[in-house]
Amino acid sequence: MYAPAVHLRVIVYNVKAFRLGLDRVTDVLRTLGPDLLLLQESGPRRSLRALGSALEMQVAADPLSPLRRRVKNAVLARPPWRIISHRLHRLEGSERFYPRGALVAQAGRAGRRVWAASAHLGLVPVERGRHARDLTGLLEELAGPIVLGMDLNETPERPSATWFARRYTDAWAVAGAGDGPTFPSLDASARIDYLFVSRGVTVDGIHVAELAGAASDHLPIVADLSLEP
């Protein structure tokens, strides 16, 4: 029997730890209506829980790590999607006071599954390249469709961005209009935030939500996707 494609809206957003206001971020995301939300610089746990409650979304965040600095990425899911499992993968060789990693969650609904990963790579090119290889190695171990949302801290022609684009589909490259700058939010000139998708995921549309300029120093990416049967 034929199974129709499942549609979902995915948002990638560096929220700057809610330093410009949790209410501002909440208002923006309530308007945009994500099914899956991939956050970077996800801020204090209390603020993240408050965001999930306000949006009626389940939160998957980094586990407690009292002896190490947090890696502040998160994945949120709105019913009927739910988080089935999640884990934090720490990328080795990060700067001591700014550890990097990826929050990887499996989300599902009515027998459908998708892996959702949120990552934030560093400012140093050599570190980014090493972490890009580490992260793709991790994702290659996952079975099923993947959506990867990232603050990559570099533009599309740079080595780490092209590394990911050779292995996954850059959603903006196939369905975006224009250059798609996301940073800085008040006068965006650089595309450094990305959504990459694997086989089994079709990009129906994607845009940068420019209305969010006062909520963070980044603009959110809004993508409408279809999971193939």
Q: Is 207 helix (H, G, I), strand (E, B) or coil?
A: strand
Asked whether residue 113 is assigned to any structural domain, the reply reads yes
What pLDDT score was predicted for residue 210? 82
Torsion sign over Cα 91, 94, 96, 101: negative
Q: Is 124 helix (H, G, I), strand (E, B) or coil?
A: coil
What pLDDT score was predicted for residue 2? 61
Asked whether residue 1 is assigned to any structural domain, the reply reads no
Asked whether residue 155 is assigned to any structural domain, the reply reads yes
What pLDDT score was predicted for residue 213? 61
What pLDDT score was predicted for residue 65? 73
How far is the C-alpha of 27 from the C-alpha of 194, rounded, in Å? 22
Torsion sign over Cα 159, 164, 169, 175: negative
175 near 204, Cβ under 8 Å? yes
> Which residue range forms the structural domain that includes residue 99?
6-227
How far is the C-alpha of 46 from the C-alpha of 30, rounded, in Å? 19
Rounded mean pLDDT for each run of 10 residues along the chain, 229 residues in total: 82 96 96 97 95 98 80 96 95 78 95 95 93 95 96 97 97 96 94 97 95 83 93
Burial pattern 88-111, b for ≥16 Cβ within 10 A else e, equals: bbebeebeeeebbbbbbbbbbbee
How far is the C-alpha of 143 from the C-alpha of 126, rounded, in Å? 29
Per the rule left: phi > 0, alpha: psi between -120 and 50, beta: everything else, 39 is beta
CA atoms within a 13 Å half-sphere pointing along the CA-CB vector of 196: 24
16: domain CATH number? 3.60.10.10
186 near 218, Cβ under 8 Å? no
Domain count of the chain?
1
End-to-end CA distance of the chain: 11
Asked whether residue 184 is assigned to any structural domain, the reply reads yes
With CA atoms as reference, report the closest residue to 165 among 181, 145, 148, 141.
148
> What's the pTM?
0.95
What pLDDT score was predicted for residue 96? 67
Q: Is 94 helix (H, G, I), strand (E, B) or coil?
A: coil
Query: Could you count the other beta carbons within 10 Å of the beta carbon of residue 4?
Result: 8
Residue indicated by tokens 């080595």: 159
6 near 226, Cβ under 8 Å? yes
Q: Angle, nearest 10°, between helix axes 45-55 and 22-32?
A: 30
Asked whether residue 49 is assigned to any structural domain, the reply reads yes
Q: Give the dihedral of Cα atoms 14, 107, 135, 166; nearest 10 deg.
A: -90
